Amino acid sequence: MAKKAVEEQIIRTEYSEVMQKSYIDYAMSVIVARALPDVRDGLKPVQRRTLYDMYELGIRYDRPYRKCARIVGDTMGKYHPHGDSSIYDALVVMSQEFKKGQPLVDGHGNFGSIEGDGAAAMRYTEARLQKITQQVYLSDMDKDVVDFQPNFDETEKEPVVLPVRVPNLLINGADGIAVGMATSIPPHNLAEVIDAVKAYMKDNTISVKGLMKYIKGPDFPTGGLVVNKDELLSIYETGTGKIKLRGKVEYETGKNGKTYLVITEIPYTMIGAGISKFLNDVVNLIETKKTSDITDISNQSSKEGIRIVLELRKGTDVENLTNMLYKKTRLEDTFGVNMLAVANSRPEILSLKQIIEYHIDFQFEVATRKYQTLLQKELEKREVQEGLIKACDVIDLIIEILRGSKNQKQVKACLVEGDVSDIKFKSEKSKKAAANLRFTERQATAILEMRLYRLIGLEVEALMAEHDITVANINRYEDILNNYDSMAQVIMDDLDATKKEYARKRKTKIENAEEAVYEEKKLEEMEVVFLMDRFGYAKTIDKNIYERNKEAAHQEYKHIFTCMNTDKICVFTNIGRMHTIKVSDLPMSRFRDKGVPVDNVCNYDSSTENICYVTGLTSLMGSQLMFVTRQGMLKQVEGNEFEASKRTIVATKLSEEDEVILIAAADCMEHVVLQSHDGYFLKFLKTDVPQKKKTAIGVRGIRLGQGDYLEHAYMLENRTEYNISYKDKEMSLNKLKLAKRDGKGTKVRI
């Protein structure tokens, strides 16, 4: 009889519930298994897996380097199936001394630079474990100190956490972006962190303030200065806050009597592209006339360290210039602290004390498992040793048993259970003695495997000495496991040994510094001419230079007008935005100089928007602007509405898929002419267009046919002749018939 087919069941579920559950599952996966470090070892999964794979491959500090491609491929194939770039990036960062307080990987080859140069491809670089990584991060892996879990395809086992003996979360810091949360923990000094851990172990009621007697503050590998010392206590108590950083500045006098401002250490946040950005910012300060004190700038940085040299004019107020660099560049920056880590399988913002508490609890767990394993081994060793010592005393009897037995099974049964059946003895006395033997299974095996040379007198003495050592070890391990103080002392001894071998001097100076006060030189107010070409390059020139080159200027430049050097330039674009530029931010140039791209001095994006109109902010005040869009919407807006402190504002509201085609000053104009793509022209009075707010869409100017759109719009001044080229023929706009707004217009055929 055929089985009845299982009826299909459709389970109806609310779509939003499925999406919510799926997103939460994804978010937790990213938070716990990808982006955030574990508070116990301070490592993200990719870092942990990479280090463990190197350990498994035997790429130790005292062995030859191995290709990074081999390490990355092995890690990806066994433990981390998320792409080779994430693994190699993690490997590179763990080897960079300028990013990590304590590098964990010894890189050989091009592993990038502090100035942002990327590492060479993994096929060219080599790596191995650092000595500290092997001895402090990966030791005792063979003593069952941490749990192991199946890898992604359950063909391998990987550690849930590494048995790191120091609070790596503090020493190397961490940064990572998860879903809805991010971690940012600064690196600290190894010796200071170890001292703080020991202080907590001696007194677990110690406060964060007490711990800060040992941990003065962050210790960045780039050095520099932390200048808000008084705020550190709050940051370490709450786990969040902002650390204010400054680069280290020195002053040197050259042989020629010139003064040089030399930057020898940079803020940690400046590493990478930040150095180039700093140099560009300094050049920009010079070009925009914010300072005339800097005559030359050179980056003399090398493997020995950072050295950025600014050559100064004689008589420069060095302190004021330094404060200007703090204010106007990233020589002073902030490091946002958010000490978020995975604790007990969930993300948690931790204080300094909580991180140390979690670390010490983990150390006691690791030490307990380690000494339980060692104790078990010593107990087994003692059992064997006692069996061998006992065997030496009755060796003649054991030899007699061996000679009288038919097989190994009979011998073992006799040694363990005293079974003498089927064994031939020389005498009843020997048989009776053999029947009383009661060795353990392990002892019997050791006796059978014992070599004859162990019967030499000196060997027996050595066995007795080994037994004494084993008993002493057992007593010591039992004391450590049963006595809190003994275990604490063992942990502290390990910390002392680590500190003695790997401690480094503090690089970052902690202090309270006054706010950088920079007295900006007031601009001498003067009238200048603004020029912008059709490619978006802008500059200002002296008015007299403009007068001498007036004809050439109007041929080469699209936007030309006079303004004050204290004014702002307003740039209106086709997507309805207005960007502002300080005239003082534009270079005062010679006529033939190129200028700067407008993208560099405001938020204008040439890839997504086009410039429709440019004017000075002062000129806008009290005037009227006419807006015309592709879909035929019009409005007049008062210029005062565009006065704003923001660098970018919405200049007009647009319908979907609409864009601005004309923005023009409307004060002196009398007529508006609209030209559609299909050849319809409509001329009407400017007064027909109502005044609206900048947030309004406006009113309809022309009734467009299906698929038609406005191509051009013109503003006509009274008694002025306006001619345009239409279909390769000249056409006068003044001759168009005057009509009303919102009409269909007249189709022009030429």
What single-letter DSSP state applies at residue 35? Answer: I
Cα angle 226, 229, 234; round to 5: 120
Residue 490 to residues 138, 419, 479, 673, 728, Cα–Cα distance (Å): 18, 47, 11, 91, 94
Q: Identify the helix (H) or strand (E) that includes residue 481.
A: helix 457-482
Cβ-based neighbours of 747, under 8 Å, separated by 6 or more:
678, 679, 680, 681
Side-chain half-sphere of 368: how many Cα atoms within 13 Å?
10
154-158: Cβ within 8 A, 24+ apart: 155/78, 156/78, 156/79, 158/49, 158/52, 158/78, 158/79
For 199, phi then psi, to 5°, come to -65, -40
Q: Which two tokens stand for residue 749?
A: 């055929």
Separation between Cα atoms, residue 52 and residue 58, nearest integer Å: 10
Q: Catalytic: which of 26, 124, 251, 484? A: 124
Q: Which two tokens stand for residue 191?
A: 């010796």
Beta bridge partners of 334: 244
One-letter amino acid identity for 648?
T
For 589, phi then psi, to 5°, come to -120, 170
Q: Is 723 exposed, middle or buried (0-12, 13-18, 19+ CB in 10 A)?
A: exposed
Q: What is the DSSP code string of 389-421?
A: HHHHHTHHHHHHHHHH-SSHHHHHHHHHH---T
Phi-psi region of 305 (alpha: psi -120 to 50; beta: other; left: phi over 0): left
What number of other Cβ atoms are within 10 A of residue 225's Cβ? 20
Q: Which two tokens stand for residue 198?
A: 């020991």
The reply to whether 358 belongs to the active site is: no
Give the active site residues. Answer: 124
